[in-house]
Amino acid sequence: MKNVGELNLDYLCLGCGSCEVACPVAAVEIKLKNNVYLPEVDNIKCIECDKCLNVCPGTSISLEGYADTLFAADNSGNKDEVLGRYLSNYLAYAADQKLRYEAASGGLATSILIYLLEEGIIEGAVVTKMSEEDKRKSKTFIAQSAEEIKAAKNSKYCSTHPLSALKELRNFESDAKFAFVGLPCHIQGLRKLQQQEKWLRKKIIFSIGLLCTHSVDYSGTEVILDKLASGSKNIKKLEYRGSGWPGKASIEYEDHSSSIPLYDYWSPYFASYFFTPYRCLSCSDLVGELADISLGDAWLKEIEAEDDLGTSIIISRTKFAEKIIREMKVNGIIAAEKISKDKIKESQKKIIMRKKHTIAYRLSLFKIFSKEVPDYGKAYDLSDQSIFQKFKGYLGAFLLWFNSYLSKKEIGIKIIKFIPRSILKKYSSLVNKAAGRKYE
C-alpha cells in the first residue's frame, strides 16, 4: 500500500489529520467530502515513504501498549479496562460561575488551558471553535490568549480534523510549548505522530481528552437546524452546547435567535447513531485513554438532580496533571473532589457497554460484510456468549450500522426528517438497549 489514499477511508479513516502533518512532501491534504473530513493524496507528489500510514490511528492502535509507554512511570498500579491507566479521579468545575454557565460541562478545559497559559507553562493551545467564514463548520487554531481559548469553550457535535493544525506549530520558536485538546481518536493520532515526529514530542507537552460516544457529520447539523430551528442559512453564530447544564444549542440568525435543548436534538437525531461516521462504530476508546487528563460530563443522579451549571469528571494520568489540579484548587480556580473509579464508570454506564464490550459484535459484523476494521492488538472472543446474547449483540450492531448507513442517503435523511421526534426518541431507546445499554 502506497499511502492513506488507498485505504478504505469510509471504514478506517477518522479524519483526524495526522497523515497531513506527517507527510514530508505535502502530498496529503484533508478535505471535506460527503460531510466528513478525509485525506486526498497527490500521487504525483507521493514518495511512498509510509509515514502517513504509520501515524494513522484509524488502521491500528494498541491503547494498552501506548498507555504503558506513556504513563507506566507515573501510575504503575492503577489500570482499568474502561479508564486505562490513571492516577486519580475527580468531580470538578470552574470557580468562575459565568464560564461554568457558558461552557458545555463545568468549564474545566477552558480553565486549565488559561491557567497553563497565564503561568507561562505553554505559549498556546490547539483548540477547536466554529469557523468565522462558515458558522456551520468547525475550525481548529492555535489560541494564544485567554479570550481566544474561551472562543473554543463549547462542544462541537460535528466533523473536525484538529491534528492538521499542528503544522502551524513549525512557525513558532523551537522551545515554544503547547497544549492540545481533542477527542479520544485525535489523542490517538497525536500519540502516533509524537512517536514518529520528535519535534512534536517537544512541542505538545499536555493533552486534554474529551469523552466521546461518537462523532456526528455535518448533515446531522443541517437536519436539526431545519427541523428545530430556522434552517441553516443566514447564521451569524452557532453553539452546540452552553447556557447551563446539560445545556442547549444556540443559533443566532441575521434577524433573530433560536435555541434547542440538548435532549431535544441529541436523543432523537444523534443518540441512535444517525449521521455517525462508520469508523466511530469501531471505536473502543470512550475516555481518551492516551490523554494526560480526560474530561467529560458527570452523568450522575445526584448531579442531574441538583446541578444546572455543569460538573465534569476528571481522569488524571500524570504527576504533572495532578500538580496542575492541585494548584488550581488551592488558588480557587476550580472546585475539585476525589472520587473512585467506580463513580467515574457509574457516570458513563450508558455507553461503556457499547464502547468496551458490544464493539466485538460490530467488528465481527463488519468482517462479515467484508469491511476493514482497525487492529487493536487484541482479540475479541464471542465464544462464551449464549445464543440470545449473540442474537442481541448482532442485532444491536446491525441497527447502529443501519442508522449510520441510512443517514448517508438522501432518501434516508428525508425519512428521518419526516418521522416525529417522539417516535425517534423511542426508537433511539430501543436501539441503545439492543446495542448494549448499561454497564453494571
Q: Which set of grid coordinates corresponds to residue 344?
A: 467515574
Length of the chain: 440
Residue 395 CB neighbours (<10 A): 14
What's the pLDDT score for residue 437? 62
What's the pLDDT score for residue 73? 81
Flag residues of the chain having pLDDT under 50.
439-440
Beta pairing class for 88-94 and 257-261: unpaired
Helices 421-436/387-406 angle, 10° precision? 140
What's the pLDDT score for residue 312? 98
- Average pLDDT, rounded, for the chain: 96
Q: Which set of grid coordinates corresponds to residue 85?
A: 491507566
Residue 386 CB neighbours (<10 A): 8
Q: What percent of the chain has pLDDT over 90?
A: 95
pLDDT in tens, 346-387: 999 989 999 999 999 999 999 999 999 999 999 898 989 999
What's the pLDDT score for residue 390? 94
What's the pLDDT score for residue 71? 92
What's the pLDDT score for residue 76? 62
**Residue 315 main-chain phi, psi, to 5 deg:** -115, 115
What's the pLDDT score for residue 75? 66
How many angstroms separate the Cα of 32 from the Cα of each of 5, 36, 412?
14, 5, 21
d(CA 440, CA 309): 28
Q: Which set of grid coordinates corresponds to residue 86?
A: 490513571
